[in-house]
Amino acid sequence: MTPVCQPATESFSAPPTRGLPVRAQIVLAACGCAGASAFLYAVDPNHHAVYPQCWLYNTTGIYCAGCGATRAVHALLHGRVLDALHDNVLFVSALPLLVFVIGSYVLTAWQNKAWPRKEIETRSMVRWGIGSAVMMLGFMALRNLPGWPFDWLKPLTS
């Protein structure tokens, strides 16, 4: 009988023989993120149409679970946390977890000069996927209901 919760096994791939070293990949990715953040800081998504539009909202008028995420990041970069929460509370709530998971993975890769391979059980991955889908669909349903308090879940418009 296998235990319900097993720790993920971790191994490291051999350093690549061709292509960029892992640390160079991390630095380039960090520069790309910094550049994208600088652009998002400077160009307000509420006033410029350079950002991709949500096809679901444009065709049906229904807010998806991701609607307002770009505006939320813009608001966070400007220190307006309440506006960011109003734009997309689910995304802003998940952001610390995403930063932690990605950051720990990248830190491990930096220290070992190789990308770690994580062995994840299929059952665990399916459970996380279904749980995430249910959470996003529930959030999507709630933010499209009329009236108070559901109006607070709709993205801000300027």
- 118 in helix, strand or coil? strand
- 32 in helix, strand or coil? helix
pLDDT, one tens digit per residue, over 107-126 is 999 999 999 998 889 999 99
Question: What is the model's pTM?
Answer: 0.82
Write the CA distances from 155 to 7, 73, 110, integer angstroms.
39, 12, 37
- How many other CB atoms are found less than 10 A from the CB of residue 42? 10
Mean pLDDT for the chain overall? 90
Residue 4 has pLDDT above 80, yes or no: no
**Secondary-structure breakdown of the chain: helix, strand, coil percentages, each rounded to the nearest 5:** 60, 5, 35
pLDDT, one tens digit per residue, over 54-80 is 999 999 999 999 999 999 999 999 999
